[in-house]
Structure 1
Amino acid sequence: MPPLKALEREFSEIDSNFQQFCSSQGILSVEDFLVHDLNVLVAFAEQHDTSKKLKQGITRILSIIDNHHQPWLNGMKLLEDALQNKHVLSTGYEGIDHLLQGGLHQGQLTELVGPSSCGKTQICLQAASNVADKYTGAVMFLDTCNSFSPRRIACFLTRSMSSSSKEDRQRSLERVLRNIFSYSVFDIFALLDVLQQVECKLKSQAFTGDNQVQLLIIDSISSLITPILGGNGANGHSLMTSAGLLLKKLAHEHNLSVLVTNHMVGGEGGSLKPALGESWKSVPHVRILLSRDRGGNLCDASLLKHPSVASGRFVRFMIED
């Protein structure tokens, strides 16, 4: 669920005065309302000169929460949805595709976890190139650390079209790059704002004309979230959960494959652990742990979590720089 600031444009009741009132009560996002005593909040609102407007804002937030409730679905409905609407997108890496039984499943959030230089960005760029080329679908690449590289995309296409003419390669490159939309996002609030805009545009079917968005990539989502997780407050974890829920909602409702990366940090005894910790672990549908020999091109991928494949599966594949 989004931060209040991201809703200001869409809902006039959630103006700066209402946001300031909520902030004074430790409420920064829609999700914060779920753990706050509503009667106490209304009582505080009634003490203000603008109590009528504040209570209108509270009513609006409650309606937003109500709209986020998912309907109950029986097993047959879920099976029909999985078989009819959700497809699989190849990443361009045979090893990863084998691990995932075909590739990135639409409707699912897939996470790549691993230390620096293990191949996370390389896989994201290859997947973007492959989907934009083979499936002629649009790809959204949310870039948090200047990792998006058109030159790398060009290298991928040159390798796959080595027998084609220079003119054919150039036409393919132009077509692929037109299908990839890169956005620079440098904090969690900007991310939530962009995702809200994406949701509105996908609903109106006006985002890419005839090209349907099939893949959404965030490299790396942990770079945006780890700065807000420090201290004893719950606001950072609330924003993290909001981002995860919104990504899963976009994936399910618009048949997107969502691919995010998560870096590693030092844990107890010097061992490495995923940066986003235990609270995030339940958010992705699929988690893949990557590792790579220093100075080499061999990459190992282990399946940590998958809704329909047993965890523990392992593949080794080559990543070309």
Structure 2
Amino acid sequence: MPPLRSLEIEFPILDARFRRFCASHGIFSVEDFLVHDFSKLVSLAEAEAGPKELKEGISQILSIIDGQHQPWLNGVQLLEDTLQNKHFLSTGYEGIDMLLGGGLREGQLTEIVGPSSSGKTQVCLHVASHVADSHLGVVFLDTSNSFSAHRVACIINQLSGPLAKEVNERRVQRIMTGITCQSVYDIFVLLDVLHQLEFSLKVKSESAKTSVLIIDSISSLIAPVLGGKDSQGRLLMISAGFLLKKLADEYNLAVLVTNHMVSGEGGSLKPALGESWKSVPHVRLLLSRNQGSNIGNMSVLKHTFVACGDTAEFVIADEAA
């Protein structure tokens, strides 16, 4: 579903004044309306100057939502969609692929949580390199200057093995061309970028298929807007999660996000973003490694068919390589 500002030409009632009213309540797209109480929005509109136009705008949004419902699918159709469209994509790490039954699943949102320096970014860069090497497109949203073209080139060199210099340079160029990186520094820009990506996916040809969306790290965007008595931050978080899962399902993307850890009861570490976010990912993995070691340990915290607690070891390449 599109951002509000893209609808004004077709629906003039959704003008700049209506969008300012919506923005003041954390609403920037049609999807954002889905997590709001419509009756409360109408009450808030009645307290504004010119409430009639605002209420007509809300009614127009409801009509748009009603017109965009996806058709119901029966069990056979869902199974066919899974078998035909929701493939596994190898991460490039044999241990992780075996743990996940084949790798990252298209149509699913996978989250990697782990403490600082556990190797989350390195895993993301490795996945991006490996998928792009398979002639599939990768979108990498960098939220904290974690993307390093040099590190990607080092990973590709490790994947390539002993190739002639000229051949290896062409391979590096091809793989790097398959990775689109964009810096995103706040939740509002993230939502806008995701809506742009959705539009792009609708018109992009199969030959230029984007298969993986990586956000490293999503918690650095969401954590700053959480807390306090205002519920806007939580609504923004849920909106982002809803949109990511929608993109994954409708466009057969494998979505991979990272999340940092915070202190819990008794000083133990727990994933950031709280219980509301916990229900969003289809798959939640915990990454850890011993200090000074390049052996990573991935364990399953949540999965659709793999038992919680299952683990795998793999080698995390030296980031300075």
Instruction: Tell me the TM-score normalized by structure 2.
Output: 0.90
Quote the Cα distance in structure 1 between the aligned partners of 2:305 and 2:201.
28
Q: Is the 8 A contact 1:27 1:33 kept in 2?
A: no
Amino acid at match of 2:216: D
35 and 45 in structure 1: CA distance in 2 versus 1, 3 angstrom threshold: closer
Q: Out of 48-57 and 161-170, give the one that drifted further.
A: 48-57
64 and 280 in structure 1: CA distance in 2 versus 1, 3 angstrom threshold: farther
175 and 23 in structure 1: CA distance in 2 versus 1, 3 angstrom threshold: closer
Counterparts of 1:269-308 in structure 2, within 5 Å, are 269-308=266-305
Counterparts of 1:31-46 in structure 2, within 5 Å, are 31=32, 34-38=35-39, 41-42=41-42, 45=45
Amino acid at match of 2:119: G
How many positions carry a matched residue from both structures?
313
TM-aligned CA deviation for residue 157 of structure 1: 1.3
1:65 counterpart residue number: 65
Q: Is the 8 A contact 1:28 1:235 kept in 2?
A: no
Give the 3-state SS of the residue equivalent to 2:306 in structure 1.
Answer: coil
Amino acid at match of 2:127: A
Amino acid at match of 1:138: G
1:115 counterpart residue number: 115
Give the 3-state SS of the residue equivalent to 2:19 in structure 1.
Answer: helix
Give CA deviations for 1:187-222 in whole Å, capped at 9, x if unaligned.
00000000001101111226xx83100110000000
Amino acid at match of 2:257: V
Of residues 306, 312, 317, the one that matches 2:314 is 317
1:250 counterpart residue number: 247
TM-aligned CA deviation for residue 73 of structure 1: 2.4
Give the 3-state SS of the residue equivalent to 1:8 in structure 2.
Answer: helix
Quote the Cα distance in structure 2 between the aligned partners of 1:70 and 1:169.
45
Counterparts of 1:101-180 in structure 2, within 5 Å, are 101-133=101-133, 135-180=134-179
2:15 counterpart residue number: 15
Amino acid at match of 1:248: K
Give CA deviations for 1:29-79 in whole Å, capped at 9, x if unaligned.
5545654252x6446646655444323321232134335644432221111
Amino acid at match of 1:158: N
Q: Unpaired segments of 5 or more residues in structure 2?
A: none
192 and 34 in structure 1: CA distance in 2 versus 1, 3 angstrom threshold: closer
Instruction: Tell me the TM-score normalized by structure 1.
Output: 0.90
1:182 counterpart residue number: 181
Quote the Cα distance in structure 2 between the aligned partners of 1:256 and 1:117.
27
Q: Is the 8 A contact 2:26 2:236 kept in 1?
A: no
Q: Is the 8 A contact 2:26 2:235 kept in 1?
A: no
1:82 counterpart residue number: 82
TM-aligned CA deviation for residue 153 of structure 1: 1.1
1:211 counterpart residue number: 208
43 and 222 in structure 1: CA distance in 2 versus 1, 3 angstrom threshold: closer
Q: Is the 8 A contact 2:99 2:311 kept in 1?
A: yes
Amino acid at match of 1:75: G
TM-aligned CA deviation for residue 159 of structure 1: 1.3
Q: Unpaired segments of 5 or more residues in structure 1?
A: none
1:201 counterpart residue number: 200
Give the 3-state SS of the residue equivalent to 2:6 in structure 1.
Answer: coil
304 and 318 in structure 1: CA distance in 2 versus 1, 3 angstrom threshold: same
56 and 158 in structure 1: CA distance in 2 versus 1, 3 angstrom threshold: same
15 and 302 in structure 1: CA distance in 2 versus 1, 3 angstrom threshold: same
Give CA deviations for 1:81-132 in whole Å, capped at 9, x if unaligned.
1111111111111111111111111111100010011111111000000010
Q: Is the 8 A contact 1:143 1:184 kept in 2?
A: yes
Give the 3-state SS of the residue equivalent to 2:166 in structure 1.
Answer: helix
1:240 counterpart residue number: 237
